[in-house]
Amino acid sequence: MSFFKQINLNEIKDNKSQKLSGEYEKVKCLIIGSGPAGYTAAIYAARANLKPVLIQGMEAGGQLTTTTEVENFPGYPEGVTGPVMMEDFKAQAERFGTDIRWGEVTSVDFSKRPYKIVVDNSEQIEAEVVIIATGATAKYLGLESEQKFRGGGVSACATCDGFFYKDKDVAVVGGGDTAAEEAVYLAGLCKKVYLIVRKNCMRASKAMIKKVERTKNIELLYEHNTKEVTGTNVVTGVTLIKRKGETNEQEVKIKIDGFFLAIGHKPNSDIFKKYIDVDEVGYIKTIKGSAKTNIPGVFACGDVQDPVYRQAITAAASGCMAALDSEKFFAEQ
Ligand code: NDP
């Protein structure tokens, strides 16, 4: 590394530490997250003159930027790609004056108002109101082949992508309620659905298991683990290991066109848990019929507080609720 570069890096380091020990930037309404919930909250908050600042987070645009076609969001009769739709959301939020910034919120202090937020371990913000819209991350198996076909044959959302596999054969991985629900949903569209369960039983509720068992075009594959998703340009099959690690372990190959993950989601709530009430999985608890959390002036919307619906449209709706609740909060102060 050259001397010149070293000096510059040191300057950057100094600037950052100066900012940490220096003044806090005062913000009226801070929105954390840039999926449908965050941007919708921003559109409403900006139009209500709450002067929102939106911190985009690591995955600017949220989970939709990893999907291909979105056909179920009203207002796009011809469908739209996830990234283009999120650019539209962003442009609309900017049109009303939202200050949209790169960066990731690295810590918060919600012990008293105004709330303190640190971005990228350096920028310090004091916000009167905070809207959390950090989303959730679908869990993947961690296979290289799964990453290769992500967004093109491999999906973590049957409701979003199932339609592309109409009259085709697909597989769903998982043994919980989501896997059961998604398998039943896909069975209504597809020719055949393989449900790949790693144990010899499902964790899903009895009612859901019954539904799965009663659905003729679902084939349950208990004690099967996924080894590899196969194909050249598109998914054409999956290689499974039956009774992995046992003496009668066996390799099984099935032909499929789509591979769906339903092994759970992780809500992105870790940095808030010290202050904000979450359920056993980590989803932020909101007061029914509102976006209010247990901390006055801190609201939550989108997938970080929704273990059930997890759709772009429901996330957007809850973003609207969070902004309206924020507006009401200021009015009541
Ligand atoms: P869960 O955590 O309940 O289930 C995850 C499933 O994925 C488990 O069967 C687990 O297997 C399996 N799994 C995890 N990792 C792997 C892996 N590496 N390879 C193969 N399989 C794996 O998640 P869900 O999303 O299903 O549900 C989350 C919560 O939401 C639950 O409380 C559920 O009841 C609820 N829910 C409710 C619904 C409703 O009421 N309509 C609908 C959907 C969800 P194993 O069992 O072996 O650990």
CA of 265 to the centre of ligand 1 (A): 8
| Non-local CB neighbours of 307 within 8 Å, separated by 6+ positions | 265, 267, 279, 281, 283
Q: pLDDT tens across 197-240, in order?
A: 999 999 999 999 999 999 999 999 999 999 999 999 999 999 99
Mean pLDDT of 182-187: 95
Query: How far apart (Å, rounded) are the C-alpha atoms in residues 174 and 280?
Result: 19
Atom of ligand 1 nearest to the CA of 205: 34
Tell which wins on pLDDT, 169 or 22: 169
Residue for token digits 């010290």? 274
Mean pLDDT lowest among 67-81, 146-160, 194-208, 239-253: 67-81
pLDDT of residue 67: 64
> Which parts of the chain are beta strand (E)?
25-32, 52-55, 69-70, 80-81, 99-101, 105-109, 115-119, 123-132, 136-138, 154-155, 169-173, 192-196, 218-221, 224-231, 235-242, 250-255, 258-261, 265-267, 298-300
Is a pLDDT exceeding 60 seen at residue 15?
Answer: no
Share the mean pLDDT of the chain.
Answer: 91
Strand bridging mode 123-132 / 298-300:
parallel
Looking at the whole model, is its pTM more than 0.95? no
Residue for token digits 């507080």? 305
Is a pLDDT exceeding 60 seen at residue 6?
Answer: no
pLDDT of residue 64: 78
Instruction: Kindly report the protein residue whose alpha carbon is nearest to atom 25 of ligand 1.
Output: 264
Q: Which two tokens stand for residue 15?
A: 């600037």
Q: Is 29 left (phi over 0), alpha (psi -120 to 50) or beta?
A: beta
Tell which wins on pLDDT, 21 or 299: 299
Query: How far apart (Å, rounded) are the C-alpha atoms in residues 322 and 30?
Result: 12
pLDDT band at residue 70 using 50, 70 and 90 as cut-offs: confident
Positions marked catalytic:
157, 160-161
How much of the chain, in percent, has pLDDT values that exceed 90?
81
Question: What burial letters (b/e) apply to 129-141, b meaning 16+ CB within 10 Å?
Answer: bbbbbbbbbbeeb
Domains of the chain from N-terminus onward: 2-137+265-332 (3.50.50.60), 140-261 (3.50.50.60)
Instruction: Kindly report the protein residue whose alpha carbon is nearest to atom 5 of ligand 1.
Output: 263
